[in-house]
Structure 1
């Protein structure tokens, strides 16, 4: 169940449950009160038995007896009972504590009305001068005492004591108290229950997020055991947090990979710099120490020094160029160029220079005149020059054949450059586009190079929106394939 559904359900229960309890309690108490009221109105034995057993009733009867006896004694005394309302009011106060009151009449007229009896409709009182009280079944006030006497001035009087048999006020207050108490306790229990439930639904996910965040802060990017994706309102937050964790883990792996590459790059640079520097130092020392004791030998030493210096210069230029490519500091002059014309010109240029070094270049297939790409001519020519140098470095024997094929495979123009060189081992194949990477055999042999040429090729192709792939068979040769996107707005189709 989702958190929203639980909140809605808890609100409904907190509103409905107390009302249900309130209705049940009210109905129960109302039935009890109605039964008591009905019994009182109809004078049922149950009501009178309850009334007689009531301690309050017995106390009221006792006090009524005491008061009437006092009145009787005083009225029969020589002094007589004076017609003073204050005397009767004091006795009325004694009766009031037992929920009773008195009514005093003089010559049939009302003389004193008890405080408890005021503002109430009283039952019919005994006929003046009669000792027999009428039975009252329609009033809560019950006659529990009646006395006829004479005042000190000789006028006839009568005192009637009435007891309020109704407990409606007390029962109403009791009923109200229990009603409010039940309602409050129900609300309190439900509020505690649902508040705890909602807090658990809110705090538990937050606690898991806090624990996961602490793990990340400690460098532990693996998900904690108690961290799992949820299917509720927390799902977007947990999903975003998990995405962040995976991104951080991937970035850390990438940073570690970059650090390893950086260390390897420094190692390769140090190795490739040490070789020409050592050679330059050795031949220079040979000249200074007189080892080159003839003009011809000195000239030979100086030519070697010059060659190694040029190697260092070329390495510095390539490293600077690759660094600028990585920093996007090399500007590109993209133009819409004809692929067929570009490849024909490049093949002619490379054939003239490569033929003297044992390179035989053959162009087997070119696209039609209508095929164009968007490229920087200078940078793209660098790609072909570097691949030509790579073919010459790893030739078998004194010569190498280099075959070109180009065709359209929308949305690209694919250019295949196949050589018959030494080939690349399967272990080295995934690494050849890494800066300064050279196979151990190439490093320890006399094969020249910096290990930057193919890295530059890959970066230039990527900047053109294309890519370069390679396949090779060790001892047979290699095939490099260049993928260049066709020029936009000028769709090209291969001629039949």
Structure 2
């Protein structure tokens, strides 16, 4: 439910609920004071709402007291009764329990007339009083006087009152107080409800914003509503979560940067120290023969080459990481491409006395979108990484291919020492080396497999390692096959 709808419903409830409660209160008060609710009727036009004191006094003073003959003047009494009936008031004149005159329809209420008070004293004007008869209420005014023949006469003005109007008049203070209480209670409850549903989430968001301002992101925003505030809370929580991840990533980047500086400083310092040592040897005349001099120069050139290779790898990885390395993708029949590469690799491995075993079956029609140079760099980095750690007398590298559905898998394995379990999940991370001492025999900066992973990701594929310590390692590359170029 939206906040707008909640406000509209609350405003409607502020009007409707008090009205219903007020009607209920009036009904209960009616039952308490009247015993039933049957006498409640709708108000109607031209209704006489009570007998006023001055009406009775003027009627008696200006008519019957001045001319008692009018008490028996039927024509006059009919005209007077007709006027009074317009105000819902009936006229009844009684002389010593004998009816002198009764307005039209009044005789039907004979039981009511029989219960009217007796004559008291001439000239006495009784205050209007209320009387209930057959579930109806009547307001009655009485005036006693003597006729021309000195007979006691009682004049009654009988008004059938509207119970609702009389009830309101009588119990107005109670109704007013009840209305005030109901309004206060209704508004208090609705305000409390709206406060819980709207103001409390806003306070939680304000508190959360304060925590973010202080740099504290280790919390969660919990707003369960489905309205705009709930959506705002979800957006705020998403922002907090992403900001926290961003800070953690920034910390990781900073840690990697420090590790990079440390590793690169170490890797650059080693060849530089060697170069300085051989240059000093040449300058000091240690290389006193053409053979020694040539050896020193070749060593210097090799160390400079190592430095150049390290710098190239750093530059390449930086461009890959920032996605600024251009790729030239083309649709390549992958099996012929790998066979040509394997032939070149076999020649190189023979020189190092490494046995190459090739098993490329299936997927002859498979075509994959690759950048030839970048993909060859990936294969070269994997082979070089395997050769660095070869520790068996009979060195062996295997190359296998497999087609699974719409994916082409290339597996390159070796029979090296394998990767320790604690290091297996990190070998594709940048600047990581399983051999933490970074000795010169294994060399490298730990960027070879990280570069390979970045290039494979750019190809839309995946790369991972399966290794068993002491038995060797297998690197598996999975690439998507182009539509219409699936293998067997």
TM-score, normalized by the shorter chain, greater than 0.5: yes
Q: Tell me which moved more, 286-295 or 245-254.
A: 245-254
Q: How far is 1:108 from its partner? A: 7.6
Q: How far is 1:236 from its partner? A: 4.3
1:197 to 180, 184, 193: 193
Can you give the 5+ residue segments of structure 1 that lack an aligned partner in the other structure? 36-59, 61-91, 110-118, 127-131, 149-159
Question: Within 1, Cα distance between the matches of 2:345 and 2:38?
Answer: 117
SS in 2 for 1:491: coil
Q: Which residue of 2 aligns with 1:230?
A: 224
1:448 to 435, 443, 449: 443
Q: How far is 1:380 from its partner? A: 0.9
SS in 2 for 1:451: coil
* Change beyond 3 A, Cα 1:491–1:170: closer
Q: How far is 1:458 from its partner? A: 0.7
SS in 2 for 1:261: helix
* Change beyond 3 A, Cα 1:107–1:261: closer
* Change beyond 3 A, Cα 1:255–1:424: same
Q: Tell me which moved more, 442-451 or 297-306.
A: 442-451
Checking the alignment, whether the CA contact within 8 Å between 1:358 and 1:398 is kept in structure 2 is no
Q: Tell me which moved more, 4-13 or 205-214.
A: 4-13
Q: Which residue of 2 aligns with 1:143?
A: 143
Question: Within 2, Cα distance between the matches of 1:417 and 1:172?
Answer: 98
The alignment status of 1:297 with 2:292, answered yes or no, reads yes
The alignment status of 1:271 with 2:232, answered yes or no, reads no
Deviations 1:468-493 (A, max 9, x none): 11122334322111111111232321
Checking the alignment, whether the CA contact within 8 Å between 1:403 and 1:417 is kept in structure 2 is yes
* Change beyond 3 A, Cα 1:2–1:337: closer
Question: Within 1, Cα distance between the matches of 2:2 and 2:323?
Answer: 50
Question: Within 1, Cα distance between the matches of 2:459 and 2:305?
Answer: 30
RMSD of aligned C-alpha atoms? 4.6
Q: Which residue of 2 aligns with 1:219?
A: 215
SS in 2 for 1:427: helix
The alignment status of 1:469 with 2:468, answered yes or no, reads no
1:487 to 463, 482, 487: 482
Q: Which residue of 2 aligns with 1:361?
A: 356
Checking the alignment, whether the CA contact within 8 Å between 1:221 and 1:249 is kept in structure 2 is yes
* Change beyond 3 A, Cα 1:170–1:161: farther
Question: Within 1, Cα distance between the matches of 2:271 and 2:239?
Answer: 48
TM-score normalised by length of structure 2: 0.70
Deviations 1:314-369 (A, max 9, x none): 11111111111111111212111112101110011122233223333221233342
Q: Which residue of 2 aligns with 1:16?
A: 20
Q: Which residue of 2 aligns with 1:392?
A: 387
* Change beyond 3 A, Cα 1:139–1:309: closer
SS in 1 for 2:422: coil
Q: Which residue of 2 aligns with 1:458?
A: 453
Question: Within 2, Cα distance between the matches of 1:203 and 1:468?
Answer: 52
Checking the alignment, whether the CA contact within 8 Å between 2:402 and 2:410 is kept in structure 1 is yes
- Aligned pairs for 1:312-461 within 5 A: 312-396=307-391, 400-440=395-435, 443-461=438-456
Deviations 1:443-488 (A, max 9, x none): 1243332322111111111111111111223343221111111112
Can you give the 5+ residue segments of structure 2 that lack an aligned partner in the other structure? 40-52, 71-82, 85-89, 96-120, 132-137
Rg (Cα) greater in structure? 1
Question: Within 2, Cα distance between the matches of 1:228 and 1:238?
Answer: 7
Question: Within 2, Cα distance between the matches of 1:256 and 1:465?
Answer: 28
Deviations 1:386-437 (A, max 9, x none): 1222222222267632111111012211111111233322232222222232
Question: Within 2, Cα distance between the matches of 1:101 and 1:203?
Answer: 68
- Aligned pairs for 1:44-193 within 5 A: 102-103=61-62, 105=66, 133=122, 140-143=140-143, 173-176=169-172, 178-193=174-189
Deviations 1:135-166 (A, max 9, x none): 99999554367799xxxxxxxxxxx9999999
Question: Within 2, Cα distance between the matches of 1:216 and 1:328?
Answer: 32
* Change beyond 3 A, Cα 1:446–1:475: same
* Change beyond 3 A, Cα 1:380–1:133: same
SS in 2 for 1:270: helix
